[in-house]
Structure 1
């Protein structure tokens, strides 16, 4: 099982005192998260104003800074429409990336997702299918690319643990019926983050944790930061082994 540290997501600057935004903050935080037990880091690039950005002039220096800090750690970037609302402009920006991450997440419920996934696969970037709903799972199955994805991120966004796990189960059923045999990472968000993480561990799945997914520790107290969240997740993984 692997731990992915999701460092910032689409959270606004200031949402948490330790939320990393700048290149230096992200590099330092990524290093600390890996030292705490993370196997990979997932990042939403930010421009100088703190806004999400997929611009090549943001992505290239960010990746250079991260690789200097973490030469042997896989780095994942988002392609979410939260970072570029126009699907066609997003495609153009990703096409113009001169530096490439090890992997990239593509949310399959978003317009233009299959085209971006195909572009990244053609550029030999591992693509992780972000699947929030059963409908998104069906898009994955029907895309003609399913076997070429590296991993499925089962990402229920419901507010309660019961609803989130029910949605995840329905997503899994769609993938199982299609015979889609890809690694599946399961994670929740905010109030469901820790219960869903425990469910993923019990099922032997890869997990993800960080300030993108939750600002709080399992007791409901404000988390110290990404490294602390990863350390807590690593302890739970060891206990579940």
Structure 2
């Protein structure tokens, strides 16, 4: 399975290829699916470009994409979508609490959502998603406590998939980091599919490793702005086409 990750935390300041508005995200999705993407991961954004879990932001994005294509669509739940206030972050106003409140307020639901297991409150956020019938992508980042926490989690058998995320952006060492991450979680995925991907300089080397191992993977503007030959990508569809060309 090839997932397209449309935008991530990037904004127009990073590249003109980053889709931001619901209409732009819908068109980017249509093109990416036409190029061969089978699923979509998106970061709904406010008009000023900030990632948000507000139902007034998430709903229009999901509706626009849903009108354009009929494929599973997932969103992020990263802590930056509902940052902690300046004063105590461990009370009812914490980022985790606010993310849970946002999820419970959604009127349009994604098929799944990613939860970064190294972030505080991951268990509560994942539980809130499951309560609403939303699949959970367990984001396990290399070099973080996330994999170990996930392996101990009672929710681990209930996730939709494991999202093995290689934070090493060095193209030379990223594949080795990816193999170590896969070894770390191998005994605790409970038969769930594993989607392996990297970022920036590590994106294409890790994608090649995922394809060689027969794992699900992803590509898109979130993960890299460049094609395999180093040229800037015009859009997500061009990245998807390049990924599928490497698979064939």
Alignment TM class, shorter chain as reference: over 0.9
Residues 139 and 216 (structure 1), Cα distance of their counterparts in 2 relative to 1, 3 Å cut = same
Distance in 1 separating the partners of 2:39 and 2:221: 15
Q: Alignment partner for residue 188 of structure 2, among 168, 171, 178?
A: 178
Aligned match of 2:45: 46
Counterpart of 1:152 in 2: which secondary structure?
strand
Question: Unpaired segments of 5 or more residues in structure 1?
Answer: none
Distance in 2 separating the partners of 1:202 and 1:236: 10
Q: Shift of the alpha carbon at 1:179?
A: 6.1
Q: Shift of the alpha carbon at 1:94?
A: 1.3
Deviation per residue, 1:12-50 (Å, 9 max, x gap): 223111210001000000000000000011100011112
Counterpart of 1:168 in 2: which secondary structure?
helix
Aligned match of 1:65: 64
TM-score for the superposition, normalised by structure 2? 0.91
Question: Unpaired segments of 5 or more residues in structure 2?
Answer: 84-94
CA RMSD of aligned residues (A): 1.4
- Structure 2 matches for 1:180-219, cutoff 5 A? 180-219=190-229
Deviation per residue, 1:109-153 (Å, 9 max, x gap): 111011111111111111100000362112112110111001011
Aligned match of 1:25: 24
Are 1:123 and 2:127 an aligned pair? no
Aligned match of 2:103: 94
Aligned match of 1:135: 145
Q: Contact 2:169 / 2:203 at 8 angstroms: preserved in 1?
A: no
Distance in 2 separating the partners of 1:193 and 1:179: 23
Q: Alignment partner for residue 223 of structure 1, among 189, 212, 233?
A: 233
Deviation per residue, 1:34-87 (Å, 9 max, x gap): 0000001110001111211110111112111111111x2110111111222222
Aligned match of 1:108: 117
Aligned match of 2:13: 14
